[in-house]
Structures are given as structure tokens and as C-alpha cells.
């Protein structure tokens, strides 16, 4: 979400408008998407309160598990959002700045509803990574592996690793990064950034088995010219994928 519209970025830059969020939810309902994550990229960056009316409208329309993130800084905000019918709350910058908030939220809404999102970028030299926040404008200079492990210990029920380098590139997930995080945590893990085809998802699942495969551009763009077309794998395509990874 950016300026109340649905957008997609490339390496967290140049947001391209892809439609009205409510209309997108309706299409994903019809396509039987497995889960939907909506991130308001303005809220934290602009120090704004979550748009509760928008969140409520999304929750009412959504027919699949919904996760919302953006601007959540307190337990009260998380509780209010869950009270609107949202199954999960995603926290990122506040979880890095104040990890104890994870335990507070998990205690009241359940660990299964707390998703810790880490936006990660590889250093220019070497094979180490740093955590970035505020739409990749602030380098926290923290190790995502240690941070993910700590967040799991504090009660996060799910970890989402968002590769800034791969965001919107559609050339495959950062498998090396995924391997480092998978060794460190045992809660459900989802990789985001880089998915451009079902083959990319197949490679991820073949490598790790049970793992979440998140995608953005793959589900909203079509063809080399990236024409906007909201889509999702059909049942037959998902059955084919299941056969390929067995």
C-alpha cells in the first residue's frame, strides 16, 4: 500500500501502481490465493497510525487468511487490528528497535498471529547481510540470522525474510540467504523477493521442503513488459507444482 493504492516496487524503489486494494482482494478471492499479506509502506516511514478503516474494509472482503503490517508500534494497535478480523499482524521496524514488543503482542493475541518481517540486504563486500528498515532507508547493521533467532525465542510465530536485492527482480529467491535463516529458526519461515515463475517456487520448496513461498510481482505482472494483470496459479498449476516437488 502506498498513497492508499496497491503498488509494487523494485528493490524497494520506484513503486508502480497496480490497482485498487479492494478490487485486488476480490480477484485473489476468486483465484483462491492461500494467504494475503498487506503492507502499508507509508505508515512507518511517515510515522503514521495504521489506517484502521482501510484494514477493516480489507478484512471484511478477504476470504483467506489476512496479515497486515505497517505502522504497528504498540500492543493496543495490534489488538485493535486483530479485532477487525485480521488473522496476523506483521511487525518489522518496531521489532528490531524494541524486540520485547514481540512477547507482549504474542502474549495477548497468540504467537500464531505474530509475524516478524525482516527486510534484508547483502553487503557490497563478502557474504554477510544487514537488516534495513523504513523502506530500506535505514541500515540497522544487525545480523538477520541472530535477529530471526531472537525473535523466535521472544514469541514470533512466523518469520518472513524479504530480500531487498531480489525485490521485484523476478529472477529467483536468494537461496543462500534462506539456508542461513532456515538453520537458525524452527518456526514457519516464508521467503519473499525474487519469485518470477512457478519454477522459482519449485526450487525453493525442493531445497527446503516445508517453507512459505511469498510473491508479489509474479502475481500482479504479466510478460516482459510487466503489464498489470493480477493472477494466481490455478488449481491444476498448483497440482502440477505439487507433483514436481514430491
CA angle (159, 193, 83) in 5-degree steps: 45
Burial label, 138 (beta-carbon count in 10 A; 0-12, 13-18, 19+):
middle
What is the grid cell recorded at 185? 529458526
As a whole number of angstroms, the distance between CA 19 and CA 3 comes to 12
Instruction: Centre a 10 Å sphere on the Cβ of residue 46 and count the other Cβ atoms it contains.
Output: 11
On whether the CB atoms of residues 101 and 143 are closer than 8 A, the answer is no
- Active-site annotation holder among 20, 34, 40, 119: 119
82 φ/ψ angles, rounded to the nearest 5 degrees: -60, -35
Task: Determine whether 119 is an active site residue.
Answer: yes
Active site residues: 119
Amino acid at each position: 500500500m502506498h498513497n492508499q493504492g496497491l503498488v509494487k516496487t523494485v528493490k524497494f524503489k520506484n513503486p508502480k501502481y497496480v490497482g485498487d486494494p479492494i478490487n485486488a482482494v476480490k480477484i485473489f478471492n476468486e483465484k483462491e490465493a492461500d494467504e494475503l499479506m498487506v503492507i502499508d509502506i507509508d505508515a512507518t516511514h511517515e510515522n503514521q497510525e495504521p489506517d484502521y478503516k482501510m484494514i477493516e474494509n480489507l478484512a471484511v472482503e478477504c476470504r483467506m487468511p489476512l496479515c497486515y503490517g505497517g505502522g504497528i508500534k504498540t500492543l493496543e494497535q495490534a489488538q485493535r487490528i486483530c479485532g477487525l478480523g485480521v488473522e496476523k499482524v506483521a511487525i518489522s521496524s518496531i521489532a528490531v528497535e524494541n524486540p520485547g514488543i514481540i512477547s507482549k503482542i504474542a502474549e495477548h493475541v497468540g504467537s500464531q498471529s505474530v509475524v516478524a518481517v525482516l527486510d534484508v540486504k547483502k553487503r557490497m563486500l563478502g557474504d554477510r547481510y544487514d537488516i534495513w528498515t523504513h523502506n530500506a532507508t535505514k541500515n540497522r547493521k544487525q545480523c538477520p540470522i541472530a535477529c530471526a533467532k531472537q525473535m523466535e525465542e521472544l514469541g514470533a510465530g512466523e518469520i518472513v525474510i524479504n530480500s531487498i536485492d531480489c525485490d521485484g527482480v523476478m529472477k529467483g529467491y536468494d537461496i543462500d540467504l534462506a539456508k542461513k535463516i532456515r538453520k537458525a529458526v524452527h518456526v514457519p519461515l516464508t521467503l519473499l523477493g525474487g519469485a518470477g515463475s512457478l519454477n522459482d517456487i519449485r526450487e525453493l520448496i525442493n531445497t527446503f521442503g516445508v517453507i512459505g513461498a511469498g510473491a508479489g510481482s509474479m502475481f500482479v505482472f504479466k510478460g516482459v513488459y510487466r503489464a498489470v494483470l493480477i493472477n494466481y496459479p490455478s488449481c491444476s498449476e498448483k497440482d502440477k507444482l505439487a507433483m514436481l516437488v514430491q
